Structures are given as structure tokens and as C-alpha cells.
Structure 1
């Protein structure tokens, strides 16, 4: 859909009761190239607009008429209808409390003060919309992506080998080709940014073998670890090594997914799970190893994220190697690390063939651009 993701195709709803400010905003937005702009002067008119069409971005004034929190009424309406539009709140009476409520409580994309110089506030709105579009272009609509995954068997029964367009947890159009589907969407003047387009087909691709993977070079989606917890250099168990493995898994989930091999060294040679199994005690086997991994994942990453990980084993050169296939997370994933008496949440990403820990500022910026 990247060819379609241009400013001229963005569908905007401006909820604003100040006619003078609204006129200036429309003029400025049109200069920036926006062509599909609808307006509403109050909450009810906004509801009527939402009844009739879909919007990529909704920009709502906080104060509408006599209601100091009219903008939040619009946000409530969006949430109740399960609408996936990006929402930006504007206000002339900005407060830290309202800002936190908008961003944290309601999950708004942005909170912009009108008390800037008029030109700056309008340009800030344009910049915020563009950032939202970059996010949608790169990551799509996570709510509907998740719905498609959950409803896959149902969709497969109705739309096998067809392309579907989904918005607000609903299939709104389908066609035999992506081009035909986009043509229908264009005819209906629907927003392309929020739509999720998928081909519904049975999965036939075979999983890549561990032996094939270990012959590839490490990358942003492939990592080798010699062991889970056995320190080869010191010939003893080293629990700190566990967090290198867990950090890599979190990095994959916060990036594009990937596969971690345990029992393969940096030079691609096979060490196997022997040292780790010995560290677990006499008679322990790969089931015990997998149980340890599952416990670590649940305890340090979270049980809710366990479905994103698939653990498998394969014999390579007569030695058992473990692979952990990781899917991308629909939300940011953190690793709980013990520091003294406290557990600290840390945020990792993949950067090239390494796993990188981000500081608070870096993590905040990364999360804003990659999830909402």
C-alpha cells in the first residue's frame, strides 16, 4: 500500500467550535496537501460524521461549547465504537493532568497546546499527523492485525485465496486481487491508512531447519548463543548469561521477530545443549531445559507474551540444538531484571546483529514511533 500512503489520501475529521480558528486550520492543512477534510462543531455532529464514514485522523478541540472536556467525549466515542483512528487533542488550556489523561489514559496520539503562536500550533498539528502516518505506514493497524490472527480460521472458510480489507474488526471489502480490492476501496472513498489488507490463504511454507539457520550469518533476525547458563570460559553456571538470552528474545519481539539458536557458537560450530543439561543436574534432558526456558520467559518477560515464542529442538552433527522462533510483539515488551531488592523493567531492540538496551529517552521515542 506504500504508493497510496500520501498526504492527499488522508481522511481528516476536525472537531472545532471556533469558526475563525477552524477556517485558518483548514487553509493551512490544504496548503500542506490534505484534500479530504470533514468538520464538526460539537460532539453530536462528530458522532453523525463517525456514523457515515471512516477517518484516518481525528483532531478534537478539548473545549467544545460549554464542555471543558468535550475532546475526551470524542475519544470516548472512538473507544466505544472500537474505531482505530488516530486521535489528536487540541487545547488552549493545557494542563499536565489532561496531558497524562489523553496520552496514558485514553491512548491519544498527541496532545497539542493552542497557546503556541498560531502558525506554530498549526504546523505542530501537521507534524503530528505526519508522524502518525509514518507509524501506520510502517506498522499498520495492530488492533485489526490481531483480530485477523484470532479470526483466521473463520476468514479462511469465507475468503480463502481472496484479498480482504479490514477496519474496526470487520471485513468491509474483498476481491480476488489486491489491485481490484484497492480499486473498490478507491471507489468507495475509504481511507487506506487504517485499512489492513491481507490475502487469506492456507499456510504452506515449511519452517527453516536449525542446521540451515546455523550456516547463515547473524543478523537483526538471527542470533547464536553457545549456552543458556553455562559459562564456558569459567567452567561454571552463570545465571547472568540467562539474561543475554532473554534480552535477545525481547529485542526480537520489539523489532521484527527472529530466531535464537542455543548450542551454536559464533563461528557456526555446534556445541549442543550438553553443557547446559549437565548444569541442570544428573539425568536432566531437553524437557527439563525447555521447562527452565518457559519458567524464565514467564517470570522475566511475562506469561502474556509466551505465545509469541516457539521452542523447538533438532539434532545437528549428533548434538541437540535449541531454536526459539520469535514473533513481533503487538505492544512493547520489557525484561524484568533484578537490581538489589528491586525489579527494573528494561527495554531492548535489535540493531543489526546485536541486541541493544535503550535508555528511558530512547525507549520512549522508539515506542512512540513503533506502537500506539
Structure 2
């Protein structure tokens, strides 16, 4: 994009691309410009001529509109282009040229606006400054050239101030985008850590089942292939909906049900209004894995798992409670739970929390998450 035609094409495209915060900022610029000049010209108003207020208001509406248009179409594209590419001496010279051109155009509009019949009373070449101790006031006259130079310098400073504010906003947006990218990368890294952890546990389950019932082991492998088909698609995203997570877990639970049979008693209560709520990918699966690995598998007697998802005002809760009996032969490394904590912290900060409750007969894990009014899909 170094040839002139490509640069102009990019410049033109940027003119029609803007975010909502930027548009709101330009609306605020319009209002502030209008208020500033209305207050600035108050000393020049005669008390016995209140109609001048309305005439000057119309004039400043015109100037504020031209200021916003010029800042958007002339200044914003090169500022954004050079910000993305980096500033050099030639870039600074180009931006200086755009600033001077924008100020000259607005100074021309401002100076010759009084040539319009409706705005003739706003002629700034002859100004009466009202003074309390003077009946006639202080008369000041300016030549057209002097007035143009004054207007140009004034608008040049305003456009320069606008440009600095815009560049500062761009820096803030870039920093925010970089933080979001780093957060997404960290979430993806933590999500990917669960893949070998999950595969190891599932293959151990199939290995144990081979010695008990080869037909069930074959069925389990079929279920495992289906599970990994879904899993390979799901783990590419750091977040999923509760519905997607539960669908993945159902396949996993079916595999474990084949191995554990009546030893696994499952109770599920999920509020339908929560199905689209975001959840870190594989988090629910990790919770169920740990419940089966440390609570159900080590015990010859039947055990239970209770899964409940319910809404609580501005939050919602995901609760998993499982029975505990004999001590598991596999010591817990805490990887899954630590992973869950880190991802919740990255996603929600202090707005999410994990509560643990443990006794000699059960283990209870509760996630409290902020309720998303409009979850991204």
C-alpha cells in the first residue's frame, strides 16, 4: 500500500469506517465547539440586540459542522494510517500539511460566512467590545487578511488539540486491544492444557474396561471418537455456552456410565434461561472428570453426582456435588481446579468466584458467575 492510488483508496475507506465510541466523541466535539464559541462571543453582544445571539448561534452551527466534517475526512484517515505504520519525519510533515489545510478551509468558511445575507450581522471585520464604563464601547477593525490569519491560527490550534486527543484515544484503544489479545491467548493456552489431561483420564477408563467387558470397551471407543470429534472443535474457542458444554459432557458421561454402570447416579437441573451463558471451554467437563475420578471410581458402592445451574439476580450459579467414599489411588494434582480459577480470573476478574465445601461423605464445588444479559454468540 505504498503507491499513491492505494493510499488514497485506504484514506477514502477509513472515511466511512468508524466505531460507535468515535461517533459519540465527534458528537461531543460538535457540542463543545458550539458552546465554546457562544461563550467566547458573549462580550461582543449588545444588550439591546438580543437577535444577534440567534444569528451567531446559526453561524457557529455552520462552523461546528464544518469542523467535525474536516476533522473526520481530512485529519482522521492520515492520523490513523500513520499511527498504525509509525511516525516518521515525512509523516509529520504530511500531517502538518493536513492540519494547515483543514485550518485554512475552516478559516475561509468562518471569514466569508458573513457574506451570506442571513449572517451579515456577524461580520468580524468590525467588532464592538462592550465595556461597563463606555456607552459606545470599544471599536476594533480588522482587514480581511488579518482576520484570515487570526482565524487560521485559532483553528490550527483547535485542530492540533483535536488530533492529540484522537491519537491519545487510539493509544488507549490499541492498549485495550492488546490486553484482550493477550487474555484470549492465555485463555487458549489454559484450554489446550486440558486436552491431554482429558485424554489421559478417558484412555485409563477404557483400559480398565477392556479387562471387564471387551464389547463395552469397543462401544466406549466409538463414543470416545464421537467425543473427540466434538472436543476438537470445541477447544479451539476459549469460551463456550453452557449448552455446548453440557452436550460435550453428556457424551463423556455416557462413556463413564458404560464403565461404572449403576455405580454412577446422576441428577441434573439446568435452568433453560442459562443455556446461552458463557463458560470457559471444558470447565464443566473438568469438574465432572474430577468428580468421577476422585469420588465415584474408587468406590465399589453406588455414588451420586448432582449438577445444578440456577439464576440468582445479577449472577448465576453452577453447582456440582458428588459423593466421597474410599480414597482414590490417583493423587490429585489440583491442575484442573487451578486451571478453572485462572480462566475465571481472566474472563471475569473479581466478578466470579469458586467455593469449595468438603466433608467425609461429599465434595461440593460452586461457581458463581456474572449473568450476561446479551451473551455473544
TM-score, with normalisation over the residues of structure 1? 0.24
Rg larger for: 2
Pick the structure with more helix per residue. Answer: 2
Pick the structure with more strand per residue. Answer: 1
Higher relative contact order (CA 8 A, sep 6+): 1
